[in-house]
Amino acid sequence: MLCVLLVRFSSIGDILLTTPLARALRRRHPEARIVYVTKQAMIPLVSDNPHVHDVVGLEPDEPIRHLARRLRALRPTHGLDLHGSVRSAALRLLVRCHWTGYRKRKLARALLIATKLDAYGARAPVAERYFEAARALDTRPDGGPPEFCLSQGARDRVAEWLAQRALADAPLIALAPGAAHATKRWPLAHWIALADRLRAAGYRPVVLGGSEDRGLAQQLAEGGGTRGGPIESAAGEFSLQETGALLGRARALVSGDTGVMHMATGVGTPVVALFGPTVGQFGFFPYRAPAVVLERPLDCRPCSATGTAHCPMGHHRCLGDIAPAEVAAAVQRLVA
C-alpha cells in the first residue's frame, strides 16, 4: 500500500499551494495513505482537508530525529520534499523511502533580482512546480485552485462575531494591510483612502491580520472618515481557520503578496493583489482563482524574493504608485 509523505513546514501560502498536489494524488491513487508533515502551528491549514489522511506536526524545539521516528512508524513508501530546507533534508536521511523533490529555481531568482535577467523560461506557478516531486506517482495538475478546508466550529465562531456587529448580511470587503516586511506593505494612507471609497460604494471594509497587525489595523480604522459606518478590525481576533471563514464571507480581499492572499483563493474569495518587490516569475501570483494583480513595470523590480525592511531605491514606488482609485475599481470589477 502506498503511503506518501508531503513535507512542507511553512509558511501559510506555500502550504496552501501544495493542496492541489494533495488533491491530485488522492484522485490518482485513492488507495494511498497521504500524510502531511508540517509545523504544529501550520496544522490548521490542512487538518480538515479531505484529501489528507493524517497530519503530523513538528513541535516547537522538537529535534528532527524525534519527528523522523514518528514518521518511520508509518512505514512510508514515498516522501515528497516540498520544502527543500535543512530540516526536510534531514528527514530524507532519517526516514527511508523513495524521496523526490522539486526545483526551487534559486539561481534564476537570484539572477532576476541582481541583474534583472529573466532566466526562468516558462513561468510555472509554484503550485505546479510542486508536481515535479510527484512524477513517479503519475500525478498532474487538475487546473483547480488551492483548497483551504474549514471546520464547522470556525464558521460558527465567525458567524457569531459578524452577528454581534450587525454584519451578518453586510457586503464585506476584507483588507489585509500587514506583511512581515515593510516593502510588501501598501502605504497606510492608501489603505485609508481605499476604505473610504469602498464605504462610499456601499461595502463594509473589515481588516484582517495577526496579533502583530493590531496596531496597523487600528490606525486604519481610526484614520478613515465616518461615511458608510466604521471600519471593523478582526486583526489578532481569529485563528487561521477562523480567518479563512471570515474571508469566505467577504465579497473580495485586497492584500499584498502574503499568505492571506492564498487563504482567500483557498476559500473561493476573489482577490485584488498588490505586488511590489516581488514578481510573477517567482510563482506566487494567485493560483487558478478570480483575481486581479496590480503592479508597476519599474526597472528596479524585483528587488527581493520576500521583501525587505527598506526600499533599496528609497522611493517605494512599486506600491506607492498604485492608487486607491485603481484598487477600488479592480474590486468593483471582481464583485460585479
Closest-CA residue to 267 (of 284, 246, 283, 285): 246
CATH at 85: 3.40.50.2000
Domain presence at residue 145: no
**Could you tell me if 200 and 315 lie in one domain?**
yes
Q: Are 194 and 285 in the same domain?
A: yes
Q: How far is CA 118 from CA 16, 106, 122, in A?
A: 26, 12, 10
Q: Per residue in 179-230, pLDDT tens? A: 999 999 999 999 999 999 999 999 999 999 999 999 998 888 887 655 556 7
3-class state of residue 32 by DSSP = coil
Residues 17 and 126 sit within 8 Å (Cβ to Cβ): yes
Give tens-digit pLDDT for 64-107.
Answer: 999 999 999 999 999 999 999 999 999 999 999 999 999 999 99
For residue 209, how many other CB atoms are within 10 A of its CB? 26
pLDDT band, residue 322 (cuts 50/70/90):
very high
The mean predicted confidence, pLDDT, of the chain is 96
Which domain, by its residues, includes 33? 3-133
Residue 169, in any domain of the structure: yes
3-class secondary structure per residue, 136-160: HHCCCCCCCCCCCCCCHHHHHHHHH
In angstroms, the CA 225 to CA 228 distance is: 9
Instruction: Specify the number of domains making up the chain.
Output: 2
Mark whether 197 and 124 lie in a shared domain. Answer: no
141 part of a folded domain:
no
Residues 183 and 329 in one domain: yes
Q: Examine residue 138 and state whether it is found in any structural domain, yes or no.
A: no
Is there a single domain that holds both residue 120 and residue 228?
A: no
On whether the CB atoms of residues 32 and 107 are closer than 8 A, the answer is no
CA–CA dist 306, 140 (Å, integer): 28
Q: What is the pTM of this model?
A: 0.96
